[in-house]
């Protein structure tokens, strides 16, 4: 296990700067009023390819030497990581191979293809995915970039909190959603180095609370196929992200499906931004745990904005 250092994060920031947006930090009088806190929303929904994942993917892609890069990169994902890796590979002009279940929504396949990703379909099972992925890698020699359990990816995600601290200054706390733990690990990497007094909280759907239970148990617990509207947060922690979570996270809070949907609706309605359900989990837990955040300066990571506009969760209830 190679644990990335803060120097890796600084190097990542230099490396990816031409390929990512320095996203804005928004504030909202209304959100401050209803939470009693001073909230700073770091808007990675405005990031390239629509999510913070462009940071880690760009760091992995542009960190390859020319010889390795020629063979391209590969991953298995049907979400933002696949989009972001396709985007970054496209910017470098190298192939990106994405293994996706044939049952994935056509819109997601189209989006990956739109960024130039080459899709190979597998059956919707772990065994098929692993077998097909191994074939693709053997045939191409492409470099595997895991969505989160990869030191290059975590160092890339770490640049997000770095910008937040540079732009906003001291924060009492940062809250980010947790799924596999890539964003939280990056936040831990940066904040433990440059803002060690800032507390780091993870926000998780109650319906996919494996990180919460892992945190309380002191070891990784992985759920089998949890169901939540926050579809970016279904994946389990892995050894590298567990390292950061277990060492640097102050606490993990959970929110119900309805609390997540309500917070998402409120964010669209009052802040006029399109955010994924996953991004609403931090606001939901801040509203729910008022006593923890009241009177504090709190950074909130808005992780992405890739959502099916034809199927909004408050309309299907």
Question: Candidates 151-159, 162-170, 191-199, 272-280 — which segment interacts with a second copy by CB under 8 A?
Answer: 272-280
Contact 266, 238 (CB under 8 A): no
Looking at the Cβ atoms of 114 and 124, the one nearer to a second copy is 114
Helix (H, G, I), strand (E, B) or coil at 207: helix
Per-position x/- string for 47-66, each x denoting binding to a second copy as judged by CB under 8 A, each - no binding? ---x----------------
Contacts of 190 (CB under 8 A, 6+ apart): 6, 9, 158, 159, 160, 161, 162, 165
- Give the CA distances from residue 219 to residues 177, 210, 246, 247, 317, in Å, rounded to whole numbers and listed in that order: 19, 10, 8, 12, 35
Q: How far is CA 148 from CA 189, 281, 289, in A?
A: 14, 19, 28
Tell me how far, at minimum, the Cβ of 14 lies from a second copy, in Å. 22
CA–CA separation, 95 and 60 (whole Å): 13
* Residues belonging to the chain: 317
Question: Could you tell me where the DSSP H helices lie in 36-148?
Answer: 53-63, 66-70, 80-92, 106-114, 126-140
Min separation Cβ 262 and a second copy, Å: 12
Query: For residues 90-105, b (16+ Cβ closer than 10 Å) or e, as one string?
Result: bbbebbbbbbbbeebe
How near is the Cβ of 255 to a second copy at its closest, in Å?
20
* Per-residue binder mask for a second copy (CB under 8 A), 296-315, x = binder: ---------x---xx-x-xx
Site string for a second copy, 236-265 (x = CB under 8 A): -----------------------------x
269 sits near a second copy (criterion: CB under 8 A)? yes
The interface with a second copy within residues 21-50 (CB under 8 A) comprises 24, 26, 45-46, 50
Return the residue matching tokens 């998402």.
264
Question: CA separation (Å) from 93 to 58, 82, 164?
Answer: 12, 16, 30
Q: Give the one residue of 9, 73, 240, 275 binding a second copy; rule: CB under 8 A.
A: 275
State the minimum distance, in angstroms, from the CB of residue 127 to a second copy.
35
Per-residue contact track with a second copy, 95 to 134, x per CB under 8 A? Answer: ----------------------------------------
Q: What is the closest distance, in whole angstroms, from the C-beta atom of residue 270 to a second copy in the complex?
A: 8
Residues found near a second copy in the complex (CB under 8 A): 24, 26, 45-46, 50, 265, 268-269, 271-275, 305, 309-310, 312, 314-315
């Amino acid at each position: 296990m190679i644990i990335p250092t803060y120097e890796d994060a600084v190097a990542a920031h230099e490396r990816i700067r031409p390929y990512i947006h320095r996203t804005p930090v928004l504030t909202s009088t209304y959100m401050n009023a209803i939470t009693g806190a001073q909230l700073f929303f770091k808007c990675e929904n405005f990031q390239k390819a629509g999510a913070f994942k462009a940071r880690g993917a760009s760091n992995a892609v542009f960190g390859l030497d020319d010889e390795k890069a020629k063979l391209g990169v590969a991953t298995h994902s049907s979400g933002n990581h696949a989009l972001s890796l396709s985007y970054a590979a496209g910017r470098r002009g190298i192939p990106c191979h994405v293994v996706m279940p044939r049952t994935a929504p056509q819109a997601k396949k189209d989006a990956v293809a739109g960024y130039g990703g080459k899709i190979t379909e597998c059956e919707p099972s772990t065994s098929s995915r692993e077998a097909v992925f191994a074939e693709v890698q053997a045939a191409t020699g492409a470099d595997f970039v895991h969505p989160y359990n990869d030191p290059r990816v975590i160092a890339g995600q770490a640049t997000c909190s770095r910008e937040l601290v540079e732009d906003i200054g001291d924060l009492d706390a940062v809250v980010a959603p947790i799924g596999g733990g890539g964003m939280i690990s990056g936040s831990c990497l940066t904040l433990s180095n440059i803002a060690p007094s800032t507390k780091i909280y993870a926000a998780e759907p109650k319906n996919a609370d494996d990180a919460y239970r892992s945190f309380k148990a002191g070891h990784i617990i992985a759920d089998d196929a949890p169901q939540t509207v926050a579809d970016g947060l279904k994946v389990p922690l892995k050894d590298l992200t567990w390292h950061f979570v277990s060492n640097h996270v102050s606490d993990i809070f959970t929110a119900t499906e309805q609390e997540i949907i309500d917070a998402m609706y409120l964010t669209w309605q009052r802040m006029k931004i399109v955010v994924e359900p996953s991004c609403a989990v931090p606001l939901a837990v801040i509203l729910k745990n008022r006593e923890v955040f009241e009177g504090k300066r709190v950074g909130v990571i808005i992780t992405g904005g890739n959502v099916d506009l034809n199927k909004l969760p408050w309309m299907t209830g």
